[in-house]
Amino acid sequence: MLELAITSTVLYMLPIISNLEGIKEILFNIVERFLYALSVGIFNVSYPGITDYIHYDLFSFNLGVHVIKVVSSIILLTISVANYINLPKQSLHFTVEVDRDKYVLNQCLTFKNHVEHKILCHSNPLGELAINVKELWKDNKITATELEEVSELINTLQGGKRET
């Protein structure tokens, strides 16, 4: 979007640059046209004033630049929204399963209707599993948020008893 604003600014300046005198007037016109190009690009809004001191024969040139800018901006915004909507959705959750005589903590990653299971730790009894999970957190193998989620899961399995 920034590239379009800069390109549009240059195109808006082409017809009038030879009529401007002094660096102050040139810089003012560049800033004014750049802000105009940004407003058209981001909000698709036009405001009066940019063509006030442009000759009538250049009006169609500026109108053409304006139309190209609006269409390009709409296309870029549409592509951005479509890309955001189609981002892959991932879900991460944890399960505790009983395998023979031990509790197994699984990390389940769901991605595009595919579930990957990863065994994080196992132990018997269930209270030892909570200790092993804290060790995983200390070793930076799970985040603090994941530690909290797993701790709540273990507490639920223990019947709501809270560990200290």
Q: What is the pLDDT of residues 72-91, one digit of tens each?
A: 888 888 898 888 887 777 78
Domain around 120: 90-157
**Is 164 part of a structural domain of the chain?**
no
Q: Which residue among 85, 102, 117 closes a domain? A: 85
Q: What is the pLDDT of residues 105-151, one digit of tens each?
A: 998 888 777 888 888 888 888 888 888 889 999 999 889 998 899 88
Cβ-based neighbour number of residue 150 at 10 Å: 26
Give the integer Cα–Cα distance in Å for 135 and 80: 42
DSSP label at residue 56: G
Which stretches within the chain are classed as H helix?
2-13, 23-43, 59-85, 126-138, 144-157
Are 80 and 95 within one domain? no
**Is 162 part of a structural domain of the chain?**
no
Highest mean pLDDT among 7-11, 55-59, 89-93: 7-11
What is the Cα 100 distance to its own chain's centre?
45
Q: Note the pTM of the prediction, 2 decimals.
A: 0.42
